[in-house]
């Protein structure tokens, strides 16, 4: 019954598409768009026709495009960010397959930037979407000279850093677990290395990143706040290429090349830090001999079977190890694998089938003479995904798809030594099946109005085996029911409507609107301010309901001086349901009844995001300013009044500038400022058996000191030789040594037992770094 | 965790730096703090009443006089009305703690009544106190005892060094350790344990609500910086005050540091 209803809804949604199919002599031009030098497929390249502004299409995630237009002669124009525009004369009398190779604007980066940005037109992209290529982030200065996509997107409006030494980032008032971070479609649960100093995405292996802050297309789902869709490079299918970098703290290498020239290629990228090389030099015996490093490996291969089929295999594996000698330690890592099969059914219908594996696990060990305990936890996903893109005609494109994810979470397992004070525990595994059906219609209603609308129907089945509890108000177990393996305990179905419209006001400005609903079924529990790797992942259950967010956004986009400058201003309003918090004193670790310690509430947020970007010339860069507010309401907190969420930052500014001094030197600088996060400070203190303990009146009633920081960078390009290129990257993080808050402790004054004090800890003063990059 | 972060800072050839700041803190109304206990050791037992002070003031908590304080053994019957022997310090006369009995505290002050109940757990004996040198070459005491299997047990520790009470809150529950032989390291406050020191360690068996109060108090006192949502500890006394009332068992062992 439910199914029949869903299909009726889908049919009604797709009806306009069917009606708009017209009967004139039309032919299809389709094919793949690639980089001519490396064979990388190019997604989001624009295919247009001079004199026919309505005939325009973007290549999809696999570089495939298809457009159906009337018989005639055309000048077809293909353009892509960072590449020389290509114009091809076409006499269209029959269906055509045009596989196109594009060539980079060969030369210095500055020139690339000049030529590139003309291609992407912000007036036409949907609201809330931003695409960054590696070229865009290349010169932005970062910590330890490691360019990093996840760090760079935090300089964009509406995306906020969680602060120094904290992993994760906040998008439009969402918490950090509400971002869906995908690497070649596989979910990456913990995207940070070294407690947030690096992201797990090695920039050598990454092709591009697309960020959705709102107006999520219906093919994405599962998180409330944002999607970061990161794609790995396919690998050079023309020749073997090696590149890498040697830095003070880490080194990396990338090898790519053809498997079969022009038909298949591979890429292998690896990176390792060696910060622990320094620990041997330290005299402190606690630190000497400690292990402290991370590494990651990216691997990808693809093979074009025939003109209709192409397969891809990609994988990521990374691990962090932080072990103090003879003491506590943690290690954690992500592993993902994606197998994809692209199939072109016919010139209009493209299909992709993906089989995805994703795993995140962590181990914590506590070692002290005799009390040795090793705690581990993990989450594993098996994911099957099917997408169809149907290019009906230039005005209509239809996407339909389905996916099923089988989640297995192992909340905790502790193994203790014989003499330990702790028992061995194995918490029961939790199983859930998350599935979705979606349909979306991209409709160019007129030359000026473009509407993408669709629906995603998501379903979550909580399944056995396992004991399922209900709790009374005091958190005591009321009932306990055992469900056998595969038995459905509870089903949640949520229709998620999505719509995004853009209306071009004139040649240089457009108005965009979007509304979307998202649901989330994997929840992260964390009762510590540091996003530690030992957080607990909890799937939706009989107690925990799916989180739901509704977001409405309006934006104005403007280009100035023939697109040399872009300006955008967006306003959003968001409401959230079934947000999760904890009762005071909740035990999240090693607790089979962790759900009894949870409380649920609502959230809301709004914001105004402004962005001005200079895209051409010797000086490029952007200024972003966001005004935002985000609040929570939970009955048991602050007497049920709305209070600012921890990630609430009122003002947020980022200024990024890159200057091409000459052929050799490129300089860059970035400055960020944000209002301090909302925190809870005590108002007074009282005695507990003579120890001063602090009295708190309300949650998040105070603000951390404001955060600001200037980073500087410089790149020196070595002489270009036929077979070898090199460059030096110099950077200074926190150039004016601002002491930004990492933690604020209220504590006894160590020098005066009769006093208490407030101590602020900052992590970085000035961090200089040098990296040598090479390519051959 | 703190150590690991320091390690990162160090390895990156940079140093985390700290500075004392003085953020403006709102003034909250003064809070009443009642602390009382009945134990299985010989009486008298004490109830102390103090008030909270502003954060930037000294750690001197003004005593509160003039309260009417009584403790009753709900299981056995007798009620003991306490006498105020020094300002804010109230003392029992006759009541004696018995394992398994439930006790209630009643405090009347300025027209307000504060009440609490607590049940004394069965005793758990501390086998011994031993010492070891930690990786930082500091001598630390260790509690050695067997946790009874099958029942939830809650403990806190109290330590004196050459007869001087070390102001340190430390609580432990057998949630993950039921029935194990426990060897638990004891944190000490500012006092350093040295060779030839006489250390007296008490293992105090408490009930669940008292444990919750001490556990939350320890988190707030020592690790408020890493809590996502620090909050005032949950008192087990009704009526709108802070503090605790605990019916508890006490087992004490003494030892001299040999190294």
A613: closest CA among A624, A604, A628, A602?
A624
Residue A711 pLDDT greater than 60, yes or no: yes
pLDDT range class, residue B7, cuts 50, 70, 90 = very low
Q: Which of B2, B9, B23 to mutate to test the interface with A (most CBs of A within 10 A)?
A: B23
Q: Is the ipTM of this complex over 0.85?
A: yes
Instruction: Return the higher-pLDDT residue of A183 and A322.
Output: A183
Helix spans in B81-239 (H): 208-223
Q: Nearest Cβ partner of A527 from B135, B212, B228?
A: B228
The helix (H) or strand (E) run that includes residue B4 is helix B2-11
Q: What is the pLDDT of residue B55?
A: 95
- The winner for highest mean pLDDT among A141-150, A331-340, A417-426, B171-180 is A331-340
Subunit contact A195:B228, Cβ cutoff 8 A: no
Collapsed DSSP state (helix, strand, coil) of residue A646: coil
pLDDT at residue A115 tops 50: no
DSSP state of A421: S
Task: Name the most confidently modeled range: A12-21, A149-158, A721-730, B41-50.
Answer: B41-50
Q: What is the mean pLDDT of chain B?
A: 89
> In CATH, which superfamily holds the domain spanning A2-116?
Carboxypeptidase-like, regulatory domain (2.60.40.1120)
Write out chain B residues lying below 8 Å of A362, CB-based. Answer: none
Distance CA B210, CA B238 (A): 13
How confident is the model at residue B16, as a pLDDT?
Answer: 66
Contact list, B175 vs chain A (CB under 8 Å) = 587, 590
DSSP run (H or E) holding A17: helix A2-20
Q: At residue A474, does pLDDT exceed 80?
A: no
Chain A CB contacts of B132 under 8 Å are 369
Best CATH choice for the domain B126-233+248-256 from the list 3.40.1000, 1.10.10, 2.60.40, 1.10.3470: 2.60.40
Q: What is the pLDDT of residue A163?
A: 81
Site from B135, B174, B243, B246 to mutate, A interface, most A CB atoms within 10 angstroms? B135
pLDDT in the model for residue A528: 64
Sequence ranges of the domains in chain B: 32-119, 126-233+248-256
User: Above pLDDT 70, what percent of chain A?
Assistant: 89
CB contact under 8 A, B28 and A744: no
A775 φ/ψ angles, rounded to the nearest 5 degrees: -155, 130
Percent of chain A with pLDDT over 90: 42
**Range scoring the smallest mean pLDDT among A114-118, A191-195, B28-32:** A114-118
The pLDDT of A360-384, averaged and rounded, is 83
Chain A residues with CB under 8 Å of B17 CB are: 739, 761-762, 765
Torsion sign (Cα): A442, A445, A448, A451: negative
Q: Which residue of chain A has the CA closest to B212? A: A585
Closest to B107 (Cα-Cα) out of B170, B51, B34, B169:
B34
Which pLDDT band holds residue A278 (cuts at 50, 70, 90)? low
Spatial neighbors of B110 by CB under 8 A, at least 6 apart, are none
Interface contact A288, partner B, CB < 8 A: no
Q: What is the pLDDT of residue A484?
A: 92
Residue B144 has pLDDT above 70, yes or no: yes
Q: Contacts of residue B35 in chain A, CB cutoff 8 Å?
A: 687-689
Residues in chain B closer than 8 A to A294 (CB atoms)? none
Q: A480: which residues sit within 8 A by CB, 6+ positions away?
A: A467, A468, A469
Closest Cβ opposite residue A767 in set B12, B53, B132: B12
> How far is A276 from B4, CA to CA, in rounded Å?
12
Mean pLDDT of the B111-132 span: 95
* A138 has a pLDDT exceeding 90: no
Do the beta carbons of residue A576 and residue A547 sit within 8 Å?
A: yes
Q: Phi/psi class of residue B76: alpha, beta or left (left: φ > 0; alpha: ψ in -120 to 50)?
A: alpha
DSSP A441-475: EEEE-SSSEEEEEEEEEEEEEEE-SEEEEEE-TTS
Let me know if A182 is exposed, middle or buried by CB neighbors in 10 A (0-12, 13-18, 19+). Answer: buried
How large is the average pLDDT for residues A70-93? 85
A328/B226 Cβ within 8 A: no
Asked whether the beta carbons of A149 and A203 are under 8 A apart, the reply is: yes
Please say whether the structural domain B32-119 has been given the CATH code 2.60.40. yes
**A562 vs chain B: nearest CA distance in angstroms?**
45
Q: What is the DSSP letter of B226?
A: G
Rounded to the nearest angstrom, the minimum Cα separation between A542 and chain B is 24
- A519: nearest Cα among A746, A290, A224: A224
Is A2 in CB contact (< 8 Å) with chain B? no
Better-predicted residue by pLDDT, A15 or A377: A377
Q: Which chain A positions have a beta carbon within 8 Å of B190's beta carbon? A: 748, 750, 753
User: Hey, are the CB atoms on B4 and A328 less than 8 Å from each other?
Assistant: yes
Interval A679-687 mean pLDDT: 93
Architecture field, domain A129-775: Beta Barrel (2.40)
CB pairs under 8 A between A and B: 253
CB pair distance less than 8 Å for B230 and A763? no
Contact between A683 and B17 using a beta-carbon 8 Å cutoff: no
pLDDT category of residue A277 using cuts at 50, 70 and 90: low
Asked if B17 lies within 8 A of A739 by C-beta distance, the reply is yes
Digit-coded pLDDT (tens) for A550-565: 999 999 999 888 778 9
Contact predicate B157/B213, CB 8 Å: no
Check if B32-119 and B126-233+248-256 are the same fold.
yes
* Residue B13: pLDDT band with limits 50, 70, 90: very low
- Decide if B11 and A759 are in contact by the 8 Å CB cutoff: no
Residue B156, pLDDT score? 95
What are the φ/ψ torsions at residue A369 (nearest 5 degrees)?
45, -75
Residue A109 tokens read as: 């980066």
- pLDDT for the residue numbered A325: 64
B16–A686 C-beta distance less than 8 A: no
Contacts of A681 in chain B (CB under 8 A): 23, 25
Residue A776: band (very low, low, confident or very high) from pLDDT cuts 50, 70, 90 = confident
Average pLDDT, chain A: 85
- To test the contact with chain B by mutation, choose from A328, A691, A744 the residue with the greatest count of B C-beta atoms within 10 A, namely A691
**pLDDT on residue B132:** 82
Q: What is the dihedral of CA B91, B96, B101, B105, to 10 degrees?
A: -10
Q: Where do the structural domains in chain A lie, given as residue ranges?
A: 2-116, 129-775
Give residue A20's pLDDT. Answer: 46
CB-CB under 8 Å, A532 with B1: yes
Indicate whether A19 pLDDT > 50.
no
- Contact criterion met (CB < 8 Å) for A745 and B225: yes
Across the interface, of A282, A585, A689, the residue whose CB is closest to B212 is A585
DSSP letter for B192, please. Answer: P
User: Which residues of chain A neighbour B182 with C-beta distances below 8 Å?
Assistant: 421
Q: Verify cis geometry, omega within 30 degrees of 0, for the bond prior to A423.
A: no
């Amino acid at each position: 019954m439910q199914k029949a209803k869903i299909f009726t809804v889908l049919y009604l949604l797709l009806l306009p598409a069917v009606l708009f199919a017209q009967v004139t002599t039309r032919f299809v031009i389709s094919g793949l768009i690639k980089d001519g030098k490396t064979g990388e497929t190019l997604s989001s390249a624009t295919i247009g026709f001079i004199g026919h502004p309505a005939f325009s299409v973007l290549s999809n995630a696999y570089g495939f495009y298809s457009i159906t237009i009337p018989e005639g002669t055309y000048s077809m124009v293909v353009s892509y960010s960072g590449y020389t525009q290509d114009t091809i004369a076409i006499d269209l009398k029959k269906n055509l397959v045009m596989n196109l190779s594009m060539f980079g604007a060969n030369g210095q980066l500055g020139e690339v930037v000049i030529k590139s940005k003309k291609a992407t037109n912000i007036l036409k992209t949907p609201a809330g979407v931003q695409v960054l290529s590696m070229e865009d982030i290349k010169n932005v200065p970062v910590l330890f000279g490691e360019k990093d996509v996840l760090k760079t997107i935090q300089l964009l409006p509406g995306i906020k850093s969680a602060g120094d030494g904290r992993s994760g980032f906040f998008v439009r008032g969402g918490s950090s677990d509400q971002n869906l971070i995908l690497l070649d479609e596989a979910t990456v649960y913990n995207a940070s290395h070294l407690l947030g100093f690096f992201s797990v995405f090695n920039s050598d292996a990454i092709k591009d990143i697309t960020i959705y802050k709102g107006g999520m297309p219906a093919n994405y789902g599962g998180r409330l706040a944002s999607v970061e869709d990161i794609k790995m490079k396919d690998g050079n299918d023309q020749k073997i290429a090696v590149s890498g970098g040697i830095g003070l703290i880490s080194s990396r290498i990338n090898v790519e090349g053809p498997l079969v020239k022009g038909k298949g290629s591979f890429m292998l990228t690896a990176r390792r830090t060696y910060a622990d090389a320094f620990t041997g030099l330290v005299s402190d015996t606690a630190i000497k001999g400690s292990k402290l490093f991370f590494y990651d490996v990216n691997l990808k291969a693809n093979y074009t079977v025939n003109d209709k089929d192409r397969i891809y295999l990609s994988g990521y594996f990374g691990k962090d190890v932080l072990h103090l000698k003879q003491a506590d330690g943690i290690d954690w890592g992500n592993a993902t694998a994606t197998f994809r099969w692209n199939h072109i059914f016919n010139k209009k219908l493209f299909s992709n089938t993906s089989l995805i594996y994703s795993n995140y696990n962590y181990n914590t060990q506590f070692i002290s003479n005799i009390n040795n305990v090793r705690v581990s936890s993990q989450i594993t996903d098996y994911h099957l995904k099917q997408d169809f893109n149907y290019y009906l005609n230039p005005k209509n494109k239809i996407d339909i798809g389905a996916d099923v994810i089988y989640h297995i979470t192992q909340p905790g397992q502790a193994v203790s030594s014989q003499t330990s004070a702790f028992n061995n525990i194995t918490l029961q595994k939790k199983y859930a099946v998350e599935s979705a059906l979606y349909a979306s219609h991209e409709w160019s209603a007129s030359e000026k109005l473009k509407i993408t609308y669709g629906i995603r129907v998501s379903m979550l089945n909580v399944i056995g085996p396992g004991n399922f509890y209900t709790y009374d108000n005091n958190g005591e177990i009321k009932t306990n029911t055992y469900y056998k393996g595969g038995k459905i305990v509870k089903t949640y179905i949520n229709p998620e409507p999505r719509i995004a419209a853009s209306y071009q006001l004139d040649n240089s400005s457009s108005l965009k609107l979007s509304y979307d609903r998202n649901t989330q079924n994997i929840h992260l529990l964390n009762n510590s301010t540091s996003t530690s790797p030992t957080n607990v992942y909890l799937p939706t259950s009989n107690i925990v309901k799916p989180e739901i967010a509704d977001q409405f956004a309006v934006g104005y986009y403007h280009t100035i001086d023939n697109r040399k400058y872009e300006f955008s201003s967006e306003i959003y309003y968001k409401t959230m349901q079934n947000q999760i918090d904890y009762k005071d004193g909740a035990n999240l670790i090693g607790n089979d009844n962790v759900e009894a310690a949870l409380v649920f509430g609502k959230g809301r947020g709004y914001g105004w995001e402004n962005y001005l970007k200079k895209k051409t010339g010797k000086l490029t860069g952007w200024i972003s300013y966001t005004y935002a507010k985000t609040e929570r309401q939970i009955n048991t907190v602050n007497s049920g009044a709305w209070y600012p969420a921890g990630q609430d930052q009122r003002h947020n500014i980022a200024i990024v500038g890159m200057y091409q001094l000459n052929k050799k030197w490129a300089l860059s600088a970035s400055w960020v400022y944000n209002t301090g996060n909302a925190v809870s400070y005590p108002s007074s203190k009282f005695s507990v058996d003579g120890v001063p303990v602090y009295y708190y009146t309300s949650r998040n009633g105070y603000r951390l000191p404001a955060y600001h920081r200037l980073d500087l960078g410089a790149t020196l390009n070595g002489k270009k030789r036929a077979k070898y290129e090199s460059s030096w990257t110099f950077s200074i993080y926190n150039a004016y040594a601002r002491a930004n808050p990492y933690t604020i402790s209220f504590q006894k004054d160590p020098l005066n037992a009769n006093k208490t004090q407030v101590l602020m800890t900052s992590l970085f003063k000035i961090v200089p770094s040098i990296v040598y990059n090479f390519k051959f | 965790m703190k150590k690991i972060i320091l390690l990162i800072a160090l390895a990156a050839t940079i140093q985390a730096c700290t500075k004392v700041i003085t953020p403006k803190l709102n003034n909250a109304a003064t809070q009443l703090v009642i602390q009382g206990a009945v134990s299985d050791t010989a009486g008298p037992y004490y109830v102390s009443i103090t008030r909270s002070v502003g954060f930037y003031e000294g750690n001197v908590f003004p005593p509160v006089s003039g309260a009417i304080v009584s403790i009753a053994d709900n299981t056995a019957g007798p009620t003991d009305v306490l006498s105020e022997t020094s300002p804010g310090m109230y003392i029992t006369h006759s009541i004696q703690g018995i394992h398994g009995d439930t006790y209630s505290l009643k405090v009347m002050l300025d027209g307000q009544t504060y009440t609490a109940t607590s049940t004394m757990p069965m005793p758990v004996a501390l086998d011994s106190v031993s010492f070891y040198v930690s990786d930082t070459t500091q001598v630390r005491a260790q509690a050695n005892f067997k946790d009874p299997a099958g029942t939830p047990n809650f403990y806190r520790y109290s330590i004196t060094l050459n007869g001087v009470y070390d102001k340190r809150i430390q609580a432990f529950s057998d949630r993950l350790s039921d029935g194990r032989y426990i060897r638990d390291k004891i944190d000490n406050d500012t006092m350093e344990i040295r060779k030839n020191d006489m250390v007296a360690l008490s293992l105090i068996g408490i009930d669940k609500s008292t444990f919750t109060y001490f556990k939350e108090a320890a988190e707030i006192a020592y690790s408020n910086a890493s809590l996502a949502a620090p909050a005032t500890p949950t008192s087990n006394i009704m009526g709108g005050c802070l503090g605790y009332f605990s019916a508890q068992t006490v087992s004490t062992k003494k030892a001299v540091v040999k190294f």
